[in-house]
Amino acid sequence: MTIKTGDTLPNATLLVMGDDGPKKVLLSDKLEDRKVVIFGLPGAYTGTCSTAHVPSFMVTYNDFKEKGVDEIICIAVNDPFVMQAWGESTSATDAGITMLADAESEFTTKIGMNFSASAVGFVERSKRYSMLVDNGEVKILNEELSPGECEISAGETLLAAMD
């Protein structure tokens, strides 16, 4: 079942790079009593993800903060080493975006946003989406129709939907 507006996000264990290596992050800890933007994408270092999706949240970061968003989180089905390196290479981390790894596709699968395209090596990857979550409840959900597009799920589109 695919997550929809009004649903409560399921808890999941994600990974982030800490000073001593990979560190577990409970999604519920990120959501409780907080307004959070989450965007998911097919993979680190992929074309549209690197040239459009991540940058769209970098340029809108301050605007989201002005609207009361506590954190912007990027989730991809990659390992935490890759997510850290990608966050650094795109400057997303410097911009304030939290890069979380859904290494086993736990969260992505739970919310029904998983897909596979084995011809290009994508197995249980994330569809492209963005959402506004308030205290764990999905308030706005924007899912792309194609993983190669980034319009519906772009930062600018989500920001405009908050007005």
pLDDT of residue 61: 98
Are the beta carbons of 104 and 80 closer than 8 angstroms?
no
Where do the DSSP E strands lie in the chain?
Answer: 13-18, 21-26, 35-41, 71-76, 98-101, 114-117, 122-126, 129-134, 137-143
Residue 150 is among the residues annotated as catalytic for this protein: no
Write down the catalytic residue from 17, 37, 49, 99: 49
The whole model's pTM is what?
0.96
From CA 163, how far away is CA 106, in angstroms rounded? 32
* Higher-pLDDT residue of 88, 46: 88
Question: What is the tens place of the pLDDT at every residue in 127-156?
Answer: 999 999 999 999 999 999 988 899 999 999
Question: What is the tens place of the pLDDT at every residue in 102-129?
Answer: 999 999 999 999 988 888 777 789 999 9
